[in-house]
Amino acid sequence: MFTVGLVLAVMILPIISAISREVFSQAPALHREAALALGATRWEMIRMAVLPYGKSGIIGGAMLGLGRALGETMAVAIVLSGGAGATLNLISSSNPSTIASNIALRFPEATGLGVNTLIASGLVLFVITLVVNMLARWVVNRRADFSGAN
Amino acid sequence: MSTAVQSAPERPAPQSAVRSRRRLPRLAPLGLYLAGIALGAGLSALTGFGVVSTVIYGVLLGTLAVYVVTRAVEGPRKATDRLVTCLVTTAFGLAMVPLVSLVWTVLDNGLPRLDGQFFTNSMFRVVGEGGGAYHAILGTLIITALATLISVPIGLMTAIYLVEYATGRLKRSITFFVDVMTGIPSIVAGLFAFALFTLLFGNDVRMGVMGAVALSVLMIPVVVRSCEEVLKLVPNELREASYALGVPKWRTVVKVVLPTAIAGLGTGITLSVARVVGETAPLLVTVGLITGTNLNPFDGRMATLPVFAYYQLTQPGTATQAFLDRAWTAALVLIILVMALNVVARLISRFFAPSTGR
Same domain? For B98 and B165 the reply is: no
- Per-residue pLDDT at B159: 93
- Per-residue pLDDT at B21: 62
Q: How many CA atoms does the CB half-sphere of B231 hold within 13 Å?
A: 24
- Per-residue pLDDT at B153: 95
- Per-residue pLDDT at B5: 46
- Per-residue pLDDT at B28: 80
Cβ <8 Å between A104 and B98:
no
List of chain A residues whose C-beta atoms are within 8 Å of the C-beta of residue B281: 73-74, 100, 103-104
Which domain does A20 fall in, by range? Answer: 2-149
* A150 and A31 Cβ atoms separated by less than 8 Å: yes
* Boundary (domain end) residue, out of B112, B131, B149: B112
| Any B CB within 8 A of A98 CB | no
In chain A, the number of structural domains is 1
- Per-residue pLDDT at B353: 65
Could you give the CA distance from residue A115 to residue A126 in angstroms, rounded to a whole number? 16
| Any B CB within 8 A of A42 CB | yes
In a domain, B240, yes or no: yes
In angstroms, what separates the C-alpha of B247 from chain A's closest C-alpha? Answer: 33
* Boundary (domain end) residue, out of B112, B136, B159: B112
Same domain? For B97 and B209 the reply is: no
- Per-residue pLDDT at B144: 93
> Is residue A39 pLDDT above 80, yes or no?
yes
DSSP B183: T
Same domain? For B321 and B251 the reply is: yes
Of B306, B299, B272, residue with least CA distance to B209: B299
Cβ <8 Å between B184 and A78:
no
Cβ <8 Å between A133 and B179:
yes
> Average pLDDT of chain A?
82
Q: What is the pLDDT of residues A77-98, one digit of tens each?
A: 888 776 667 777 777 777 777 8
Residues pairing with A95 in the sheet: A82
* A55 and A135 Cβ atoms separated by less than 8 Å: no
Same domain? For B69 and B190 the reply is: no
**C-alpha distances in Å from residue B115, one per residue of B122, B134, B326:** 13, 12, 11
Same domain? For B244 and B147 the reply is: yes
Same domain? For B223 and B346 the reply is: yes
Which domain does B98 fall in, by range? Answer: 22-112
In chain B, the number of structural domains is 2
Q: Residues of chain B whose pLDDT is less than 70?
A: 1-21, 353-358
| Any A CB within 8 A of B310 CB | yes
* Boundary (domain end) residue, out of B112, B146, B179: B112
What is the rounded average pLDDT of the residues A37-48? 88
Same domain? For B86 and B157 the reply is: no
Q: What is the pLDDT of residues A59-70, one digit of tens each?
A: 888 888 888 888
Same domain? For B188 and B41 the reply is: no
- Per-residue pLDDT at A143: 60
In a domain, B8, yes or no: no
> Is residue A144 pLDDT above 70, yes or no?
no
In angstroms, what separates the C-alpha of B175 from chain A's closest C-alpha? Answer: 11
